Every structure is written in structure tokens, then in C-alpha cells.
Structure 1
Amino acid sequence: MHQQTQSMAITRELAGWIAGIRNADLPDAVRQAVAGLSLDTFGAGLTGHDEPWSQAIRGWADDGYLAPCDGGARAWGRRGRTYRAADAALVNGAAAHAYELDDFHNAKVHLGAVVLPAVFALAETLEVPPERVETAIAVGYETMIRCSLALQPALARMKGWHMTAVCAPLGGAAASAVMLGLDAERTAWALGLAGTQSGGLFAFACDGADSKRFHPGRGAQAGVMAAELAARGLTGPTQLFETGDGGWLKAFSESPKPERLLAGLGSDWHMPRTNFKPYACCGSAHAHVDGALRLRADWAGQGPIRVGMPAVVDVQCGYRYAPGSVLNAQMSARYALAVALLDGEVLPAQFGQARLADPKIIALANAIEIVRDPELDALYPASFCGWVELMSKNGEPLRAYQANPSGSAENPARMAAIRDKFRALTADVLAPAQVEVLIDAFGKLATTPVRHILAAAESVA
């Protein structure tokens, strides 16, 4: 046997927790987070299918379509064709991440676009009680967050990894293992089979390529596949995290923290601290957008603008803006700040082709001075923090500091804001009565069958 990095059996202990948890074990804060974040993800997915990158991914799944023997799972809100569960997870995961409106955690991972498509796809093809759906979502989120934290996500990100893509197969597999009712041994296999599918590069940032849109759906697909294969008896490495030769932690991080996978497991839940997105841009820039919007009414409309960022965020989002793809603008903190100050919004309308090439936006975006702030480095990514400084109408400098974005759990109005966002996103595709039915259903996930939820959303064109 090859050397292990830890004497403890991390993979098996995590697998045992996943296999053993029951719905009654979920704290109220976790249930509330599952309800709100699932509603948020579903809204993003319902309205993301028509983007060209989503159509390309769904078209690939369509071309390989064979009627599933068990009836299959659908693309959310779409009548007709169904897919095998893993491919439905791919299609819906890509749609949920289609416009940078899906949730994220400060562990630098998008979660809902991975976990909810995997769970809902299996819920359509299996006969399981609704309470297992709620449990599986909570477990998928928690597992994926802990995997990213164990890699020290800011450091792993600087190696070029996209943390969502690296951790998504594991979150998807954990959630799917709960849905399939796998025992601890097969859950360990599922984690091993998921981890061997991990990957995903940040290279999309060089030209705004669509590969980022693909990552959550692919992770969801990999997670479902891993759990289904484990259920059939295919083994995966049961020392995935701790083995020294080819282990997951060592492969993706030069300085991993294995203890973060298990510390407080089952008692200290990370998933309720997941952020929802009020803006259609990279989550690392949301605190800066919040600051700009707070100062906008008093902004002189000219003069210097300085923005404080952690170094990782500058590398990721601080590049000079040049018109290109939608993703190129969504990942640009400069662009997001410019439209926030000029339009007072950073929503899908701000990313139309005419806006992307607007000379006024381009000039303002590239006039912003990015300041790498060591004090912010010390806080990030535990806090997605930043500050904005600009000139007021009376000639005095104004500064706004934001410790965490407005979509964070620290905002007491977060749940109401999520419901309002769902109403706004779905206004063109659902009748008002349907919207309220869905909002109510997601508030009762432990008792509402997923098939009922999907049927209520079927009028999407």
C-alpha cells in the first residue's frame, strides 16, 4: 500500500457521514438555506436554457439521445424529450450557470448549479421520499465546500484551477449517493470515482471562452455517474484524499488542509453561509459593486476612482477591459463597476452586445485604478471584501468598504431578496400564479415531490 498523508481514514469517515445522515439531522438554518438557494438556482436554470452556450450543450445531449428505460429526467421547464439522469444534470447545470446568476460560497465554488441538477435529475428517475431530496442538497453543498476549503482555495486558484470544476464532481457524487441510498462503502467508491474526474482550468479568462459555462453541469454529470457506477459495483479509491501518491488533495494544492474536510462535520455547517447573486458578474467583484452602488448618488461623475482588491481578485478580475464575449465582461471587475456607476445596475441587460462595446463604459472601466490591498489579502477568501473610493459632487473623496457582498448570509433580508429575484427572472416565462406556487413549493422541499415542482414550471417556452 502506498503512503498516506494522514493516519486517519478521511475518505471513509466523510463517506460514513454522507451515508449515515438523515433528514432529522439537518438544523433549521440548513433547511432554510436549502429552500432559498434551491429556489434561486432553479430560477437561474429556468431562464438559462436559451443562451447560445446552453443550447450547444443541450444540443450535444440531444444528439446522443436514447429514450431512458426509466422515463428519464427533463430539461427544466421544457416539455418533451427526457434524458438519462447524468445528462439531464449536465444540461440543467449548464443552464443554471448560464448567466453568472447562480449562488457561490466564499470557498470560491458555485454550488447550486452542480448539486440541484444532480438531485432533481435523480428525483425524477427514482422513487424516493421528498425529504431525501432536501437532505441530498444539503450534503452536496456541504461536501463541495469542505473539499474546496481543504485545498486552500485562494492558493489553488493561483495554480490556474477553477475551484468549481475541481470540486463539483465530489459535491455531485455526495448528493447522488444520498439519493441512491448508497452504504458507506459504495459512497467511498463514489467519492473516489468523482475525484478521478476532477479538473477544470481558469484558462477561459484569457479570451472569455464558454468553457466556464460548462464546468458546473459537467461536474453534476460526473457526480451522478460516479454514484451510479458505484451502485453497480465499480470501485473507486477509498483513500482519495489521504493517499500520498495520486491523492486528490496533493494533486490540486501545494499546501492542503486535510483537517478541514472533517472538522465539525455534522455540527458546524458551512452551507448556510452560501451567497446568492444579485448581480450578473463574478462573485469576487460583488462587494465592489455594492460599494459603487452605495456611493453612486453622490458621485461627481468624474475624477479618480480607486478600488481595493485582494491580489487574487486582481489577477482574476482586474484586467484591462476590451470588448469581447459576454463572459469576458462578466468576469471583469472594471466593467461591472463602470456599468454599476453609469446604469445603477449590473444585470443581464448590462451585458448586451451594444453595451459591451460602449465607448463610455470602456473608458470609465479602464480609468479605474486597482489597488492590491494587503489588509484585504489577509481576509480573503473567508471574506469576499473590497473598497471603492471616488470623488463626491462637492469635491470630497468618498470611500465605501464592504466586508462581504450583499448576497451573503449576513444580510437579514436575503431570503426576501431571493424571492424577489426569482420573480424578476421568471417574469417573462411563468405566470404570476405559477411563480408563487413554485416559491411555496421550494419552501416545503421536505414534503413536495420534485415531479410536482417540475410540472408547475412546464409552461416555459
Structure 2
Amino acid sequence: MTLSQTFADFATRLTIDAIPDRVKERARHLILDAVGTGLAAVGAPWAEASFATAEDLGSGTAPVLGYGRTLAMRDAALLNGIVTHGLDYDDTHARGIIHATVSAFPTALVAADQAGASGADLLVAYIAAMEVSTRVAAVGAGGFHGFGFHPTGLIGAFGSTLAAGRLLGLDAPQTAMAQGIVLSMAGGSLEFLADGAWTKRLHPGWAASSALTAATLAKRGFVGPPEAYEGRFGLYALYLRDAAPALLAQATEGLGETWEIETVSVKPLPACHMTHAAIDAAVALRSEHDLTATDIARVVVLVPEAVIPIVCEPLAPKRTPRTGYDAQFSIPYTVATALLTGRFTLDALDPPALSDPAVLDLAGRVTYAIDPDSDYPRHFTGEVIVETTDGRMLRHREAINRGAPDRPLANADIDVKYFENAARTVDVTRAAAIRTAVLGMDRHPASALGDILARRA
């Protein structure tokens, strides 16, 4: 069987009873985490521009988080992906280096609403998408980034196609065909790293929109290539220059028996996951040694070699980020902020913080080196070495980043994070009602969840 056929069989046959209770509970909390980050983003300039654009392109009744029911299904999926990913505070699967929830959930939400499906159907479709997206991305072993592609958009389209196919009533052959169709739609460039452009925010929503298009085309008999993954110009040959990567067998290993959703990391900090260990190390040093800016002569951050082009280079603009997005992908800025304030929150991404002369001055004294002991991508390691003005060398290492599968955030921690994020746009009563609806989604129609999420913030 092709990988497309194997994934299609898995997605169409999966039942709610076949999924362990602990996996369903974690899945609901991952969705809650995404909803919280999405609520925090409602009203942001890039979210407003995206919503206005979608309204220009058409109308409908599909649910859009915090924006109502005024968009067509594909545009609603696009917007939901943009807002849930736009703050870069959403979950990450470490081996695949993919934010999978923010394409899988937007797809499942609008498709289930359109189909009149149950909340349980929505949850199963979401889990199926997550299991495939994470595995397909992990086969790349971080290589997609090396060629300038963002797996969240590129690979998210494939898993999301399975969710769309299941909820829109496709059979297994049609679902296999839909994956071949979405191969011609999947993409996502890392060029945004050059200047903090908004395009990364677009990627998971575009993957969700593409998945809905591909599934509907397949349902109507449109023909796509059967070897979406293994083919001569399939996913791996096209985007990794390797038609048969050594890890290909991992794509289906344990499918339906072991659950990758349990290895998805929830972000404790609103920045690129590759900065988290360094931020926590900086906070620890500040706390332990009561450091102030005048104590610090120079800072060296040890990071995995593979992340240097993403969060360390080019060094000069990383030290003076122009936008919040720039800042989230900057080791100098995030570490300087943590050393000076003892934390890194969404407030650090606002214009006043970005122009704080004390932070920028310290960021100018932050440099980086390769971490020789990193086990990346298993962990996003980080070590901060502070040379003080009185000649001391202080260092702290975070070998396992918070939120990693072997150092996970508990569901209770996700609750705390959710309420902190939701509080930026909704009151506590509504935030609590949304939480109840998300965590109880499999006991109600999917449209009920859509209704409460779509209510304007």
C-alpha cells in the first residue's frame, strides 16, 4: 500500500472508542490551548487585516474564533489558523518541528460544523490529523527547515486533508486521492525570518483551506497522483531532495497503537520553541545571582547548530528586532529580556518593549555558539553563560526544555495558560464557558462548539 492509502484507511476507520481516554483528554486540552492563543490574538492588526480580506472574498456561516459566523468554510478555516498560530504561542511536535494543532483543529472545526457532525466526530478527525501530520513531519527529521520550508504549512495540509475527508464523508480511496491533490497546494516559505513579515501566520490556515479544497475535489471525482509521499516528485523528493529518506518507515510505525499526540509540547513561553531553554536559563541566572544590567559584560548562549539560522542569524537584526515576530525568533532579544525582567510574556512583544533602550543595549552584548552537547531535535537545549563586569563566569543549562514530552506541561498548567491568554479579550465568565464547551465537546454537536467560539470577543 502507498502511504496515502495507509493514512486514509487509518483516518476513515478510527473510532472514538479506539482512542485511549488519556489521549482524548490531552487532545481536548491541546485544542483548549489553541483556542486560548487564538482569543489573545483577536483584534491584532494582522488578524484584522486577514478578516477584512476574507470578508472581501465572500461570505458564509462557518464559525471564526472571536469574529462571528460571516465567512465561507474555507475562509473561516484560514482565519482560525491565522489567529491560533499568529502569536506563535501554540503547541509543537518536537521530532517533526511542526505546529500541528493550528491546521488540524481549524479544519476539523469548520468541516464538522458544515457536515452537522458531532463533537465526538470532530475530536476523532482532529486526532487523526495530528497523528499523521506529526509522523509525516518527523520523517523529515528537521530537513524541511534546511530547504527553507515551514512544516506547519507544508505538512499540516496532509494531516488536515484526512480530517476534512473524514468529516465530509469521503471513503478511503477518495481520502487517499485527496492527499495526492493537496500535494500541489502544500507549501510555506521561511523567508519571513528575514524581516518579521506576517506570512508565517498564514501557513496553518492556508493548509486547512487547502485540505478542505482537496477533500472536496476528491469527493467530486477529481484525480490526483497516488504516491503523494513516495513518488518521484512526491513530498519527500520535492521538498527534501530525497525520494526514500531513511526514516520513511516511521511515518506509519505504531499508527493507531502509539499516539504521537502525547509527545506534542505545549509552549510555556510566547516565542519560538527554539528559544525557550535559553530564556529559562537566563531567568534562572538572574534569580540565582540577582543580576542587573550593570553586572553583565557579555552573554554567550549555547544553542543547537540547526537552530542558528532561525533564531541567531543574521546577528545584527536579531539584536534589534523591528516587530514582535522578529523578537520571538531572536535569541539576543529574548535572553536580554529574561535577564533584565526575570520573565518573557506577550507584553515583551509590544512596541514599547521592543524599543526599550535597556533591553536593546543588553541584547547588543548577547552572542551565541554551537551547543556541543545538544540532542536536538529531541530537545531544544539551551545554555546561557554570563561574563560579569567583576570577572565572574556564571552559567545555567536547560538540557530539557519545559513542555518537552519528558518534561511536559500538565493539563492543569494548560488551564492556567488558557485563562491568562483568554483574559486579553474576554471576561472570566465567558472564558470559563468556552473552556467547558471545549473540554466537553464530544458530548454535544460540533455546531454548539462553533457557536460559542464564534461569538465576538
Q: Report the alpha carbon displacement of residue 250 of structure 1 after superposing the two structures with TM.
A: 0.7
Q: Separation in 1 of the partners of 2:407 and 2:324? A: 29
Match for residue 414 of structure 2 among 410, 413, 418:
418
> CA distance change for structure 1 residues 324 and 131 in 2, over 3 Å: closer, same or farther?
same
1:74 aligns with 2:63: yes
2:238 maps to 251
1:4 maps to none
Q: Separation in 2 of the partners of 1:460 and 1:197? A: 31
Q: Write out per-residue CA displacement over residues 65-117 of structure 1, whole angstroms, 9 at most, x where no aligned residue.
A: 14x4xxx31221223x4222111000111011121111111111111211111
1:84 maps to 72
2:396 maps to 400
Q: Report the alpha carbon displacement of residue 391 of structure 1 after superposing the two structures with TM.
A: 5.2
Q: Report the alpha carbon displacement of residue 295 of structure 1 after superposing the two structures with TM.
A: 2.2
- Pairwise mapping of residues 137-148 of structure 1 onto structure 2 (< 5 A)? 137-148=126-137
1:261 maps to 251
1:131 aligns with 2:120: yes
- Contact (CA 8 Å) 2:62, 2:110: kept in 1 or not? yes
- Contact (CA 8 Å) 2:183, 2:234: kept in 1 or not? no
Match for residue 271 of structure 2 among 274, 281, 288:
281
Q: Separation in 2 of the partners of 1:214 and 1:108? A: 17
- Contact (CA 8 Å) 1:151, 1:252: kept in 2 or not? no
1:9 maps to 2
Letter in 2 for 1:407: G
1:211 maps to 199
Which consecutive unaligned segments of at least 5 residues does structure 1 have? 1-7
Q: Write out per-residue CA displacement over residues 275-322 of structure 1, whole angstroms, 9 at most, x where no aligned residue.
A: 112222111111211222222212433133221111111111013222
Letter in 2 for 1:368: V
Match for residue 294 of structure 1 among 263, 266, 284:
284
- Contact (CA 8 Å) 1:307, 1:389: kept in 2 or not? yes
Letter in 2 for 1:51: A
Letter in 1 for 2:372: P
Q: Separation in 2 of the partners of 1:290 and 1:453? A: 36
SS class of match (2:297): coil
Q: Separation in 2 of the partners of 1:213 and 1:445? A: 26
- Contact (CA 8 Å) 2:403, 2:409: kept in 1 or not? no
2:38 maps to 45
> CA distance change for structure 1 residues 393 and 116 in 2, over 3 Å: closer, same or farther?
farther
TM-score (normalizing by structure 2): 0.92
Q: Report the alpha carbon displacement of residue 178 of structure 1 after superposing the two structures with TM.
A: 2.0
2:302 maps to 308
Which consecutive unaligned segments of at least 5 residues does structure 2 have? none
- Pairwise mapping of residues 26-425 of structure 1 onto structure 2 (< 5 A)? 26-66=19-59, 68=60, 72-79=61-68, 81-106=69-94, 107-153=96-142, 155-244=143-232, 246-255=233-242, 256=245, 257-299=247-289, 300-301=291-292, 302-319=296-313, 320=315, 321-376=319-374, 379-390=375-386, 396-411=392-407, 413-425=409-421
- Contact (CA 8 Å) 1:152, 1:253: kept in 2 or not? no
Letter in 2 for 1:346: F
Q: Write out per-residue CA displacement over residues 45-67 of structure 1, whole angstroms, 9 at most, x where no aligned residue.
A: 1232311112222122100114x
- Contact (CA 8 Å) 2:155, 2:186: kept in 1 or not? yes
SS class of match (2:265): coil
- Report runs of 4+ in structure 1 exceeding 4 Å deviation: 391-396
- Contact (CA 8 Å) 1:166, 1:200: kept in 2 or not? yes
**How many residues are aligned here?**
445
Q: Report the alpha carbon displacement of residue 129 of structure 1 after superposing the two structures with TM.
A: 2.1
Q: Separation in 2 of the partners of 1:203 and 1:459? A: 34
Q: Write out per-residue CA displacement over residues 164-191 of structure 1, whole angstroms, 9 at most, x where no aligned residue.
A: 1211211211111222232110110111
TM-score (normalizing by structure 1): 0.91
Identity of aligned residues (%): 28
Farther off after superposition, 235-244 or 203-212: 235-244
